[in-house]
Structure 1
Amino acid sequence: MSESLLYRRQVGLWLAICAATILGMILLGGVTRLTNSGLSMVEWRPLLGIIPPLNHEQWLAVFAKYKNSPEYQIVNAGMSLDEFKYIFMYEYLHRVLGRIIGILFFVPYLYFLIKGRIPVGYRGKLALLFILGGCQGLLGWFMVKSGLVDDPRVSHYRLTAHLGLAVLIFGFMMWLTCSLLDRPPATDHTAGQSAISRNVARVAALFAGLLYLMILSGGLVAGSRAGYAWSTWPLMGDSFIPPGLYATTPLWLAAFEDITTIQFNHRMFAYLLALLGAGLVAAVWRHSQDLLARRATLLLGALLTAQIVLGIYTIVHHVPIASAAAHQVVGVALFGTAIYLARRLAVMAPATSG
């Protein structure tokens, strides 16, 4: 193995580990939100915040600060110290994992940079990832602050932005990982491989882009609690199109503020992606013999099916924590798979003019 190939694999494996950890971070963030733990830490201490309360007196001091927050006064008045510890630990672990991810990225990045092991063309991209990670931490605290003023709920706009940036970082990291580790498709058709048309590659890219918008839509559903509004499927109440849809002035504001419209749009996204995903899987299997592309479509189809089933189950059963958290993390895993497939098909597409 050449030295340059070895370095590409080292950097690629490191990014793959970081991406997997970010996926875990997104899952933990979802659980933190679903257990209503996100506002339990009313201070942001980037350095000293990694140390939790270590004795009873420190726990009482932290609890006293929480008692001054709107969430305690309006929602959790009378909460015991043990109950507070339960919600505190979710938010604490979420923040600690964020710091661990920062270290997991920065230390190897610095090592690879000093040793000159970062492949050509990747220095700027890795530096951008580090900057985006810092922005994610700031955005997380910006989100939490919105629930520490008067209304004990974080802004659903800020929550969606926080989720969206996390998924964007994950997707960008997946793209770089694939570009470093993925085996190039064979150009010799006699070897059982074939190129794919540019149109199929474009559909794959469109699917990944729409899936990202779908995840943002899910952020609006979670932040506005729109998932509790209609607990029936396939109808919303007694009809497919519920009453009061887009009943705001101006009309477009309903897509961001009205819980009926937010949930309806999320469902429509799901139906669109189900059709587009099924067509994409069929097109790849029909037009390409590339083994990795075919395997990716099988995984994409399985995750898409699981995501739809989890979404329906979550709605119908009034948003249980386990299924809602699984719905979120499977959606992000699906996005990662779509990123891989879109990139692989894009690499294969130039071989034809179709």
Structure 2
Amino acid sequence: MSKRSIFEEVDGSKAEAPAVQPGMIDRGRGGARQAIRAWLMVLFALVVAMIVVGGLTRLTDSGLSITEWRPVTGAMPPMSEADWQSEFDKYKQIDQWQLENQWMELADFKQIYWWEWGHRQLGRFIGLVWALGFFGFLVARKIPTGWTGRLILPGALGGVQGAIGWWMVASGVTQGEGMTAVASYRLAVHLGLAFVILGVIAWYVFMLGRQERDLMQARRGKEAKLYGLSTGLLHFAFLQILLGALVAGIDAGRTFTDWPLMGGQFFPADAMYLEPVWRNFFENPGLVQFIHRVVGYLLLVFAVVAWLRGRGSAHVATRFAFNVAFAALLLQVTLGIVTVLYIAPLHLAIVHQLMAVVVWVLILRARFLSAYPIVTKIKGS
């Protein structure tokens, strides 16, 4: 008897071995990954623009010019002189005008009104871009498996951010309470959530930039210690961002303009004059700026530790990510010092705020590569 193949059926026919189907993991996930990534990158750029416009709105003292929250009808600006006068009359009722801006004429009011209107309008536009993109991909069934909930999150956070924005503005739209600006802690919450939204979008962009099978393989090589350090550094930087918002909210950056001392001494004078004592940590310019400085120094020390550990990574891309993040942080510290020495002029203050975004995203990038390292092949490297 002749030898029979193990693939031969009983009836004498030969069964063919099943063909290998490469990329089954990615095919199973499906979806328009690159198109969604491009859409998220547009959202990312818009949120950065929103942070910059929000900073300019604050620096020009324009945030209280619109005294009502009208999410739908507020999209239309005043269309006649009567409408403009009506808005101006509403503004005249609040403490900011009564105590600081009685010199304003209608033309002056229009300038600050346009800043705040533009800020709110940009928020509406971001919401529209998210809704069109999300529901467009959903209807076309192009969202990858497991990504629907993830893509809902930026839109949900954006809706919460709109409500927090009005909660912040409402703290300054007062009559007879002596408030001429928004509450600094509410400003910190508002800015903090903006950075959370930015971080969520950036993380998704990083993930969608690589194939699913690549991420699954890379996760096995996760550098746990570096991931922990970069996570700690990210949280530390977030705390400093919130403290920066407190400084900005009460113009504390223009109170003490020498460095490294404050008014010629290490600890500022009159750092505890407010009652009750806890108010000093939010409303005392000297103490708030002092805390911001000290936390900045501690953040730099922690960053040095993370950077030195990052240099020991086995992966070229991870080492580079830590190098760039540390360089950006050094630049940010320098910008902060220069901003104080020059009494926080508008252009330096905005660059300092924008650089915070850069540092935040670069730390997040280092964290991502610690969790999902890019393996460099020795051959051809």
TM superposition score normalised by structure 1: 0.89
Partner residue, 1:228: 254
Q: Secondary structure at 2:180's aligned position in 1?
A: coil
Cα-to-partner distance string for 1:11-61 (whole Å, 9 max, x where unaligned): 222112111110110011011001100011112211121222233333222
- Answering whether residue 120 of structure 2 is matched by residue 95 of structure 1, we say yes
CA distance in 2, matches of 1:225, 1:286: 41
Contact 2:31 2:142 in 1 (8 A): no
Partner residue, 1:237: 263
Partner residue, 1:352: none
The residue correspondences of 1:119-198 to structure 2 (distance < 5 A) are: 119-149=144-174, 150=177, 151-182=179-210, 184=214, 197-198=223-224
- Answering whether residue 359 of structure 2 is matched by residue 331 of structure 1, we say no
Contact 1:220 1:262 in 2 (8 A): yes
Deviation at 1:167, TM superposition (A): 1.1
Cα distance 1:185–1:278, how it changes in 2: closer, same or farther (>3 A)?
farther
1:345 to 370, 374, 378: 370
Contact 1:196 1:287 in 2 (8 A): no
Contact 1:23 1:333 in 2 (8 A): no
CA distance in 2, matches of 1:229, 1:277: 28
Cα-to-partner distance string for 1:227-282 (whole Å, 9 max, x where unaligned): 12211111112222334456777766543343222111111121122222233333
The alignment's C-alpha RMSD in Å is 2.5
Contact 1:196 1:288 in 2 (8 A): no
Deviation at 1:195, TM superposition (A): 5.4
Cα-to-partner distance string for 1:151-189 (whole Å, 9 max, x where unaligned): 12111121111111111111112112212214758979x
CA distance in 2, matches of 1:254, 1:57: 43
Amino acid at match of 2:267: I
Amino acid at match of 1:215: I
Partner residue, 2:17: none
**Which aligned runs of 4 or more in structure 1 are off by greater than 4 angstroms?**
1-6, 182-188, 244-253
Cα distance 1:345–1:116, how it changes in 2: closer, same or farther (>3 A)?
same
Deviation at 1:94, TM superposition (A): 0.4
Contact 1:185 1:290 in 2 (8 A): no
Partner residue, 2:235: 209
CA distance in 1, matches of 2:283, 2:80: 43
Contact 1:226 1:262 in 2 (8 A): yes
CA distance in 2, matches of 1:225, 1:289: 43
CA distance in 1, matches of 2:262, 2:103: 37
Partner residue, 2:377: none
Contact 2:31 2:144 in 1 (8 A): no
- Answering whether residue 291 of structure 2 is matched by residue 268 of structure 1, we say no
- Contiguous gaps of at least 5 residues in structure 1: 189-193, 350-354
How many residues align? The count is 343
Contact 1:156 1:224 in 2 (8 A): yes
- Answering whether residue 309 of structure 2 is matched by residue 283 of structure 1, we say yes
Contact 2:312 2:319 in 1 (8 A): no
Amino acid at match of 1:178: F
Amino acid at match of 1:67: K
Amino acid at match of 1:213: L
Deviation at 1:327, TM superposition (A): 1.0
Cα-to-partner distance string for 1:182-211 (whole Å, 9 max, x where unaligned): 4758979xxxxx957422221111111111
Partner residue, 2:94: 69
Contact 1:136 1:165 in 2 (8 A): yes
Percent identity between the two aligned chains: 34
Say which is worse superposed, 319-328 or 177-186, in terms of deviation: 177-186
Q: Secondary structure at 2:263's aligned position in 1?
A: coil
TM superposition score normalised by structure 2: 0.83
User: Larger relative CO (CA 8 A, sep 6+): 1 or 2?
Assistant: 1
Partner residue, 1:191: none
CA distance in 1, matches of 2:190, 2:307: 31
* Larger Rg over CA atoms: 2
Deviation at 1:219, TM superposition (A): 1.1
- Answering whether residue 110 of structure 2 is matched by residue 85 of structure 1, we say yes
Partner residue, 2:56: 31
Cα distance 1:154–1:252, how it changes in 2: closer, same or farther (>3 A)?
closer
Say which is worse superposed, 134-143 or 223-232, in terms of deviation: 223-232
